[in-house]
Amino acid sequence: MQTVGLLYHKGRSESTGLKDQILTELRARHLQVWCGPTDNENALIQAAPEMDLLITLGGDGTIVRAIRAVARHRVPILGVNLGRLGFLAEVEPSELDQVLPALLDGQYHIEERMMLRAELYRNDELILTAEAINDVVMARGRASRTVRISVDVDNHHVFSPTCDGMIVATPTGSTAYCLAAGGPIVAPDVHSLTMVPIAAHLGIAHALVIPAHRRLDLTLLKSVDAMVTIDGQHDEPLQPGDRLSNSASDNVARFVRMSENGYFYETVLRRLGWADRP
């Protein structure tokens, strides 16, 4: 490890304080450090090719932005949780004194998680390509009216429900909007895509889990003001007839893990408040 990136919120005192603490430790180890605020994504993208590790100081939203910026360069991320739940973060600020020396001594492993590639076609012309670590959502926009969406898997028609929208999630995203909409929690090492309808009319549509090597297409049949949203952070307006093609990305998100491989089940239950024992 030679170059470490540090992504922080410049408007939050807790984030800037941790940044200074980590900088001191990294420089004491004679490491090169890139340090930047979360609101300068272009700077992070430019610095990513030289990084051996990126440490993020924030919540899951900060990690999601960072992943999209560095995934194609295979930069592993250590998330320090300053958010509410922190499903993606590995450590709490109180643990840094123990975790940071162990990390710099190489006492960690890398977990890889699949990402989603979404391609938006209008009149058979590709107009948008995006990648997501959590989910891609085709749904109604400002107008409080339902949409009708055709769902196809590898060109095989599944159904065309009337609903508020459709979520296509990775296993990582199964604990986000997917879970809130009634979808299943999928373990991160299960390579799959999960499709969950949002408030389907008459409740006729249900969640569908398919293997990651399949392609899941959503075609907007009817709407007034629909949108596609990538990871809850990027919106694109839609027109009837638009087709959103979803498949597993060639890129993966890489996370630094200090804990055992089975941490996911314990972490999810604890952070969702489901644990039935200490």
Spot the catalytic one: 39, 60, 154, 217: 60
pLDDT in tens for each of the 278 residues of the chain? Answer: 899 999 998 878 888 899 999 999 999 999 999 999 998 889 999 999 999 999 999 988 999 999 999 999 999 999 999 877 677 888 899 999 999 999 999 999 999 999 999 999 999 999 999 999 999 999 998 878 899 999 999 999 999 999 999 999 999 999 999 999 999 999 999 999 999 999 998 777 789 999 999 999 999 999 989 999 999 999 999 999 999 999 999 999 999 998 776 677 777 777 777 666 66
Cβ–Cβ < 8 Å for 250, 213: no
As a whole number of angstroms, the distance between CA 45 and CA 191 comes to: 27
DSSP string, 71-117: GGGT--EEEEE-SSS-SS--B-GGGHHHHHHHHHTT--EEEEEEEEE
Q: What is the CATH number of domain 3-108+258-272?
A: 3.40.50.10330
Q: Are the CB atoms for 7 and 58 separated by under 8 Å?
A: yes
- pTM for the structure as a whole: 0.91
Q: What gap in Å lies between CA 125 and CA 169, rounded to an integer?
A: 24
The answer to whether domain 3-108+258-272 and domain 116-250 are alike in fold is no
What are residue 173's phi and psi, to 5 degrees? -75, -5
Question: Has 242 been annotated as catalytic?
Answer: no
CATH topology assigned to domain 116-250: Tumour Suppressor Smad4 (2.60.200)
Domain ranges of the chain: 3-108+258-272, 116-250
DSSP 172: G
Q: Between 13-28 and 96-104, two packed helices, what is the crossing angle to 10 degrees?
A: 40
Beta carbons of 247 and 92 less than 8 angstroms apart:
no
Q: Is 272 helix (H, G, I), strand (E, B) or coil?
A: helix
- The DSSP output letter for 186 is -
